[in-house]
Amino acid sequence: MNTLGNNTDFLLSIENLSVSFDGFKAVNDLNLYVDENEIHVIIGPNGAGKTTVLDLICGRTRTTDGSIKFRNKELTEMKEHEIVREGVGRKFQNPSIYEDLSVFENLEISFPRGRNVFGALTFKRDDEVIARVNEIAEMVFLDELLDTQAALLSHGQKQWLEIGMLLIQDPELLMLDEPVAGMSVSERKQTAKLLNEITKGRSVLVVEHDMKFVEDIAHRVTVLHQGKILSEGSMAKVQADPKVIDVYLGH
Amino acid sequence: MTNGKFFLGRQELLGLAILAALIFIVLPASIDIFRLNLIGKYLTYAFVAIGLVLCWGMGGILSLGQGVFFGIGGYCMAMFLKLESSTPEATKIQSTPGIPDFMDWNQITELPWFWVPFNSLAFTLIAIFVLPAFFAFIIGAAMFKRRVGGVYFAIITQAIAAILTILIIGQQGYTGGVNGITDLRTLLGWDIRTDSAKYVLYFLNGALLIGVLIACQFVLKSKLGRLLVAVRDKEDRVRFSGYDVANFKIFVFCFAAVLSAIGGAMFTLQVGFMSPSFVGIVPSIEMVIYCAVGGRLSIFGAVYGTLLVNWAKTTFSETFPELWLFGLGALFIAVVLVFPNGLSGLYRTNVAPAVDRWLGRSSTSAKPPLEDPQAAE
């Protein structure tokens, strides 16, 4: 698995990545690669550094050492909004939506046009925007609720709305932090279906605890432990790895 | 959807019409010029309160230093008017004729360099717009790019208001000190102290206010208005949707600053002087109270809130001068505890649905954004 070829083949390549907070190494010399059109899942016990890895990729946390290349472009020196504009979308663990705005307005704000001050002042809600919002809303099962204030959505619907807000940006790499946490069984199934659908033409990097869900969606799994990679490969292979069983899956 | 073809919906047009009728017809017809001039003075504060609606109510940026920008606008205008009234003939008894009287009293013998451009009205008018925007840009860029926000930002703006007051008072020879710039007489030879001039200035002020309201409505109805609400709700989400959040905060802070400065300039014209007592911490906080009482989410509410608080201030302080400050404090507490969305919140929940029915449309547009903006950062 460590016979990694030319970096340029990967959409995202993380090499020798480290970050320490007051001497504590949350991520330690990490190497991680994401292929085109791949659903790559990161699992691991609490405190393994999973969310930190996503934070580092999207620029929320600054790296101490190492490199993160997206389409061979270094992300570690870029600002958050520049990374987004390169094509990296990030969903937060808790649904992070604009509660005071309607579902339509939530999606519209994420539409990738008019992103500077002047552009936002002169932004027109034209047919293209409306069509795209409707298309995405249908994908995330919210087409009936476009005029609803987002605060009134259920937890699962909020999660979908945020996924929709990312989809409308059409990112090449979509990062999801525990997308099914707090979802009902049926919502979970719908989300798995949704993820399998949206991965066409883009890569998805998921942090998830729910093993059943990971089995449903993952093309490749990376197990993190104490900021380092413990195991990597298909779900079946990872599940059979004695080291993984020992520290995480266990019992 | 609130976003029709035109940025002024029926509710807004109705609001503008009522306010215009009040300012241009009802008030001038019912009260004498002395009281009308007072109303005109109150309305200059409304410019500040409207700016605070955008900045604080919508964007969640609480500035406790809007008096700074009110003062910049007011002082720019006052400097021009002072220079005009300080002709060598009018000041020939001074040891240095041709300079403002307070400079002469402070043994200054030459007009300071930064006063010289204010001989020109064109420069003054431009400065009223550019100076506050520039100043707000510096403060905004320094704070928002470093992601200073919330309470810290409020404290820093308050400190700036204090610093500017101290500077003005300390540099008496250049600024008129604690008395401010007084004894202003004419604007391009037109005596602004007469009753007819006061009427003209009152109507000019009212027209500017209506214009500002329309401009604000345009901003609020654009995507930028919704972005401000989004930033208040979930700043990180906006950032990770590809926006440089700081730029939007800087914009709205500068916009509010320019509105305040317009108010300040109109204040000087109508009241006839400008002093540091309209710049410092206390007036800045009072301006926040006007906005809060009116309802920090409504630009119309801000105007009525300003009128109401100032009317109460004048009435009560004439009768019970010692009690007024307690009254103001009690009012603020009442707003926070009892009706946190101010007058406009009461209007929206109790009156707006009926008005909507009367206007013959569904009440979908009256959705009050209820999130607490003080929770920003």
Q: Which of residues 158-187 of A touch B (CB under 8 A)?
A: 162, 165, 169
Residues in chain B: 377
DSSP A123-138: ----HHHHHHHHHHHH
- Give Cα separations from A15 to A18, A37, A95, A172 (angstroms): 9, 20, 30, 20
Give the chain A residue whose CA is nearest to the CA of B221: A121
For residue A245, the 8-state DSSP code is: I
For tokens 């406790």, name the residue. B64
What's the gap in Å between the CA of A83 and the closest CA on chain B? 8
Q: Best interface-test mutation with B: which of A100, A170, A172 has the largest number of B CBs within 10 A?
A: A100
**What pLDDT does B283 receive?**
92
Cross-strand partners of A223: A43, A231
Cross-strand partners of B198: none
**Number of domains forming the structure of chain B:** 1
For residue B360, the 8-state DSSP code is: T
The range of the structural domain enclosing residue B163 comes to: 10-375
Please check whether residue B2 is in contact with residue A149, taking contact to mean a CB–CB distance below 8 angstroms: no
Nearest to B140 by CA among B246, B56, B228: B246
Q: pLDDT digit string (tens) for A96-134?
A: 999 999 999 999 999 999 899 999 999 989 999 999 999
Measured CA to CA, the distance from residue A65 to residue A21 in angstroms comes to 12
Neighboring chain A residues of B1 at a CB cutoff of 8 Å: 102, 104, 147
What's the gap in Å between the CA of B103 and the closest CA on chain A? 43
For tokens 């190492």, name the residue. A66
Instruction: Let me know if residue B175 belongs to a domain.
Output: yes
Instruction: Let me know if residue B262 belongs to a domain.
Output: yes
Give the chain B residue whose CA is nearest to the CA of A105: B226
Is A85–B242 a contact, with Cβ atoms under 8 angstroms apart? yes
pTM for the whole thing? 0.90
Is A92–B236 a contact, with Cβ atoms under 8 angstroms apart? yes
- For the cut 90, the answer to whether the pLDDT of residue A84 exceeds it is yes
**What pLDDT does A2 receive?**
40
Chain B residues within 8 A (CB-CB) of chain A? 1, 3, 219, 222-224, 226-227, 229-230, 232-234, 236-245, 247-248, 251, 364, 367, 369-371
Please check whether residue B84 is in contact with residue B186, taking contact to mean a CB–CB distance below 8 angstroms: yes
Q: pLDDT digit string (tens) for B346-376?
A: 888 888 788 777 776 544 444 444 444 443 3
Please check whether residue B192 is in contact with residue B186, taking contact to mean a CB–CB distance below 8 angstroms: yes
Instruction: Let me know if residue B166 belongs to a domain.
Output: yes
Measured CA to CA, the distance from residue B94 to residue B87 in angstroms comes to 11
Measured CA to CA, the distance from residue A136 to residue A214 in angstroms comes to 24
Q: Where are the domains of chain A?
A: 7-249
Which tokens hold the place of B108? 């200054």
Facing B241 at nearest CB: one of A105, A149, A165: A165
Rg of chain A's alpha carbons, rounded to an integer? 18
Measured CA to CA, the distance from residue B258 to residue B69 in angstroms comes to 7
**Pairing mode of beta strands A88-91, A12-21:** unpaired
Residues of chain B with pLDDT under 50: 1-4, 362-377
Measured CA to CA, the distance from residue A167 to residue A161 in angstroms comes to 10
pLDDT band at A22 (very low <50, low <70, confident <90, very high): confident
Fold designation for A7-249? Rossmann fold (3.40.50)
**What pLDDT does B366 receive?**
42
Angle at A8 between CA A7 and CA A14, to 5 degrees: 45
B150-181 burial code (b ≥16 CB/10 A, e <16): eeebbebbbebbbebbeebbeebbbbbbeebb
Is A116–B223 a contact, with Cβ atoms under 8 angstroms apart? no
Taking the Cβ of residue A134 and every Cβ of chain B, the question of whether any pair is shorter than 8 Å is answered with no
Is B240–A58 a contact, with Cβ atoms under 8 angstroms apart? yes
The ipTM assigned to this model is 0.88
Is A109–B240 a contact, with Cβ atoms under 8 angstroms apart? no
- Give Cα separations from B225 to A120, A181, A194, B154, B234 (angstroms): 9, 32, 32, 21, 14
pLDDT band at A248 (very low <50, low <70, confident <90, very high): confident
Q: Which residue type does B168 have? A: I
Facing A120 at nearest CB: one of B223, B237, B240: B223
Q: pLDDT digit string (tens) for A154-172?
A: 998 999 999 999 999 999 9
- For the cut 80, the answer to whether the pLDDT of residue A220 exceeds it is yes
Instruction: Let me know if residue B100 belongs to a domain.
Output: yes
Neighboring chain A residues of B222 at a CB cutoff of 8 Å: 120-123
Facing B240 at nearest CB: one of A84, A115, A125: A84
**What pLDDT does A3 receive?**
40
Burial of A247 (0-12, 13-18, 19+ CB in 10 A): middle
Neighboring chain B residues of A102 at a CB cutoff of 8 Å: 1, 367
